Structure 1
Amino acid sequence: MPSLVIDSSMLQSQELRSFLQASPRNFAVLADYAWFEIYKQQSLEAVKRGLSVVGDFPDQLILLRANGEIVWLDPTEPDLLERMQFKETADSIREMAAITRSAAIDDAAILEQLHGHWCFARGLLPKLIEGAIEIAASLPEMEAQMFTKAEIQIIRTSSRYPGAMMDTIYGSAVQIWEHLAHANGLPWQNLGDNRVARSYLFRYALGLVIHLLWWISRGSQPIRRMDRMRNDIVDLSFCVYASYFDGFMTADEKARWIHVNLVAALEAMSRMDGAA
């Protein structure tokens, strides 16, 4: 029963439709940022397009809770994956798809609901831009603090890193996780590596370090387009969500690379924890 997280750009794709048509046991996982990308356009037509495929398969959708809720989920408790999801959402998706496909939409309650979604997306944009600016500014500092010139050359010329570099990568991810956990008021002390690795914020921290590796490998170019950096932040969240499921459907090379390497790093952590 494969469950794939779907990148926003793939919501209207034939690839997604074919995946869902292939088996009723194939599931599309939709995160909050998928809806953000739809609602930020603030048009009914965008909602229609966003539901054009998944609206035909409401029983094959897994809807994730909002990012802010998932951050707070205790990784030490069982059934984390189940707690990340909304339940019994098929009817609401089916209803919304039917409404948006109707010839004329003038229901005041529906329009009010859509305007509420649009306001949410409009309010989230400044926070994403702020985060993009902060991360873009931190990349050169992280590069200088984490790696020597010789190690930077390895990142740019090889996909295999020596053990000392892997220790640096994991250690830096733990430091970022501790900072993020403290900033969000989350308890993080006395968690073993395996439990820490289950938490969303640690996976996000590790994903940030992997994003740094991508940036270094492409020449450490200054980031001037904050809209692209904002998209990178959204894509990173998709990569983290996908690390909990069976895969990631995306057409973006960078997002695919980050997801593959994030999953590989988590699997390596699991092996190290099991051998300890």
Structure 2
Amino acid sequence: MSARGMRIVIDSNRMQSDELRAFLSMSPNNKAVLTDYAAMEAFQGDTLISIQASWSVLRYYPKQILALKGTRAAAKVDPCSAGIADRLVEKSETKAISDFSRVLDNAAKGDIIAQRQLLQRGKWANDHMAAMLAKAEDMHLSIAEFCAVFTEVELQRLRRKEPWKAETAAKFFDLVAHLTEISFAAHPDKLRWPKGRHLLNHFLYRHTLAYCVYMTRLVIKGAVTRKASLARNDAVDVIFATLATYFNGFMSADSQAATIHHITSFLLSEAGARVPEDYMERYAVEIENHMEADGMEDRADLVSPFSL
């Protein structure tokens, strides 16, 4: 590992994994990067139980956790300067995480004050998550609207996973640019359109690109409609995948989310955008060997959250 280490966006479904434990234990410079969605999802359900389980790995590495800004603030980060990933980190929340393990420990020991703190945070997380999900599809096209951009022949080629012709690719990226313009216009903070190729590094462009990759995959699968509940969850996957393009990859058990991230990163890199090295390209085997050496297995579901 480099002296700086690797910084990986962690999906909610990998917060309890031995893969995460191995990654963090390999170097003190490795960082788990958490979106606000992952942090809020950790409180879902019975708060006092779910948060202990979700934090069963991270609690031992409080100095190796980075909290990210929300999507509104992420869109305000200037893509023209270096260090975009650093500026996506929410410093105050990251600092607060260092003390969170102590609150969990006290709550697990029966400290009423600590338990009340967690319950209050859990209520806020549930309310805030509901509000965020309600807005998750504001900019989205329906599958029919997306398909209308392409000819029937082009759609058939997409479904057969055949190589794209130049005309099809041009339509796809024109759609990405158009939807990005809509997102810029709708943003409440009156964002300035980036100059030249800096647009490729802007959060709103990358988010729109990831969304269009997601829509393309729905077309390939032959989907015609998408249930609202599934679409909202997919919208969160797209945000995870987008933010991961600024860091060293995405640790997820969701194949769809991981694929969206992989394809989006590839397209950005091909277009000349700044995309950091993915941890899977160099360290996947090393992490696996580390897990085997320590006898790790994914058994988070068998551990009592209050016996940590």
**Under TM normalisation by the shorter chain, which class is it?**
0.7 to 0.9
How far apart are residue 126 of structure 1 and its match?
4.1
**Residues 90, 264 of structure 1: CA spacing in aligned structure 2 closer, same or farther, 3 A cutoff?**
closer
Residues 1:204 and 2:207 are matched in the alignment = yes
Secondary structure of the residue aligned to 2:219 is: helix
What corresponds to 1:119 in structure 2?
124
For 1:179, the aligned partner's letter is I
Secondary structure of the residue aligned to 1:104 is: coil
Contact 1:42 1:118 in 2 (8 A): no
How far apart are residue 174 of structure 1 and its match?
0.7
Q: Aligned equivalents of 1:117 and 1:242: distance in 2?
A: 25
For 1:249, the aligned partner's letter is M
For 1:57, the aligned partner's letter is Y
For 2:45, the aligned partner's letter is Q
The C-alpha deviation readout for 1:84-138, integer Å capped at 9, x for no partner, is 1133766633422122123112117x62464145224323314414534874x62
What corresponds to 2:253 in structure 1?
251
Contact 1:58 1:90 in 2 (8 A): no
Q: Aligned equivalents of 2:27 and 2:203: distance in 1?
A: 29
Q: Aligned equivalents of 2:94 and 2:210: distance in 1?
A: 31
How far apart are residue 40 of structure 1 and its match?
3.6
For 2:120, the aligned partner's letter is H
**TM-score under structure 2 length normalisation:** 0.79
Contact 2:7 2:248 in 1 (8 A): yes
The C-alpha deviation readout for 1:207-245, integer Å capped at 9, x for no partner, is 111011010000023212x22211111111100010001
Q: Aligned equivalents of 2:158 and 2:98: distance in 1?
A: 47
For 1:7, the aligned partner's letter is D
**Residues 190, 77 of structure 1: CA spacing in aligned structure 2 closer, same or farther, 3 A cutoff?**
closer
What stretches of structure 2 of length at least 5 have no aligned partner? 274-308
Contact 1:55 1:93 in 2 (8 A): no
**Residues 91, 257 of structure 1: CA spacing in aligned structure 2 closer, same or farther, 3 A cutoff?**
closer
What corresponds to 1:44 in structure 2?
48
What corresponds to 1:218 in structure 2?
221
The C-alpha deviation readout for 1:37-73, integer Å capped at 9, x for no partner, is 1134361211111211111111221211222211112
For 2:111, the aligned partner's letter is I
Residues 1:12 and 2:10 are matched in the alignment = no
Which of these residues, 101, 104, 118, is aligned with residue 110 of structure 2?
Answer: 104
Looking at secondary structure, tell me which structure has more helix per residue.
1
Contact 1:129 1:227 in 2 (8 A): no
What stretches of structure 1 of length at least 5 have no aligned partner? 272-276
For the aligned residue pairs, the C-alpha RMSD in angstroms reads 2.2
How far apart are residue 190 of structure 1 and its match?
5.9
Contact 2:34 2:68 in 1 (8 A): yes
Residues 1:83 and 2:90 are matched in the alignment = no
